[in-house]
Amino acid sequence: MRQKIDRNSYGTLALVFLIAAIFIYAINQTIACPWIKWPLITFAWVFCIWQLFFFRLPKRNPVGSDKIVTSAADGKVVIVDEYFENEYLGRKCKRVCVYMDFFDVHANYWPVSGEVVYYKYHPGKHLLAFKPKASEENEHASCCIRTESGAEVLFKQHAGTFARRIVNYAKPGMKVVAGEQCGIIKFGSRMDIMLPLDAEVKVSCGDKTKACETIIAQLR
């Protein structure tokens, strides 16, 4: 089955392919030695193919619901702890952080079904996304979903060192379904999910996650 490309990434990909084309043209015009020229041209094409892979929307089988919280991103669990969330929730909660590296798909998905009750974009720094301070100081977007039972799940998309654009489709009042795309973070980044204290977390540090399919927690 043909895989789709994230609609917000067409411009980025067009720029990547344009730069690669200019680079290849310049190599052809200035370098005659095949042992230098062809590896450089091959690198340019491999980079373009990697970017197509990076911004694709893979076919997934969502398992989330208003009780089952699934990973909002592909990556590796780097933090599982209790955390006082002071932006919107104003209380202690359980936190699960997933770090996305350069080889992970960077499309993001709603982690749970419900209604968006809060959304805010925060400009900021671009520290390495796995650093503890990244959660507060980096460019990020915060979104809270309230489930039918009244539980609130807040997730934050954090830009990393190289990321310069966060996309999120959230609007307060909109109904969302777990497993549908909610946005994308371009290049290295992190996804934090804040859960009620009575949620049963199903992952541990070091676990690999697959968006829509890896169960992060069970809500009471």
Instruction: State how far the alpha carbon of 173 is from the alpha carbons of 54, 100, 146, 182, in Å.
Output: 31, 29, 10, 14
Q: What is the pTM of this model?
A: 0.80
The edge-to-edge listing of strands for the beta sheet with 107-109 is 107-109, 181-185, 166-168
Each residue's pLDDT tens digit, 113-172: 999 999 999 886 655 545 555 556 668 899 999 999 999 999 999 876 555 578 899 999
Each residue's pLDDT tens digit, 92-119: 999 999 998 877 888 899 999 999 999 9
Residue 1 token pair: 């089955």
The residues assigned a catalytic role are 189
